[in-house]
Amino acid sequence: MGSPEQKPTKAFMSYAWTTLKHEEWVINLASRLREDGVDVILDKWDLKQGQNTFAFMERMVTSSDIDKVLIICDKGYRDKADSRSGGVGTETHLITPEVYGNVEQEKFIPIIAEKDEQGSAFLPAYIKGLMYVDLSSPERFESGYEDLLRNFNMQ
């Protein structure tokens, strides 16, 4: 990614633990991003026993050391974000002021992992106005993934 002296983009992935299949999808995306030079922070890899989960989430969302927060949107994430439940709800409380307080922000990027039967993205209310990357189907995945990598190179 970029010139050799440029530090890699550091990205935190915010997602809901909805199904084992979805968790595997998230891990596969994170692994591929790492292979392409992105320093991915993922709770399953970086949150250790004994650490405070809420402090970890807050640090990931608010730290200036984190260049991008990838918000992995599926039905479960949208439902938890909109109802402010679980860890997703906590992250929503932290992300919302960041998104609403700076309309020029580029740190928070919705990633569409799933769409409904009508083809609409499962976007939580607080990020409906943000441009997103669509990785929801095999037909869209590669072009969306390339768009995401280009976004990281713009650092």
Model confidence over 82-126: pLDDT tens digits?
888 887 877 887 777 677 777 777 888 999 999 999 999 999 988
Model confidence over 8-44: pLDDT tens digits?
789 999 898 888 899 999 999 999 999 999 999 988 8
Would you state the pLDDT for residue 154? 44
Phi, psi of 27 (to 5 degrees): -65, -40
CA distances from 8 to 17, 57, 67 (A): 27, 21, 9
Cβ pair 57, 90 in contact under 8 A:
yes
Domains along the sequence of the chain with CATH: 10-153 (3.40.50.10140)
pTM of the model: 0.86
What is the rounded CA–CA span in Å between residue 113 and residue 14? Answer: 12
Model confidence over 65-80: pLDDT tens digits?
989 999 999 999 999 9
Would you state the pLDDT for residue 4? 54
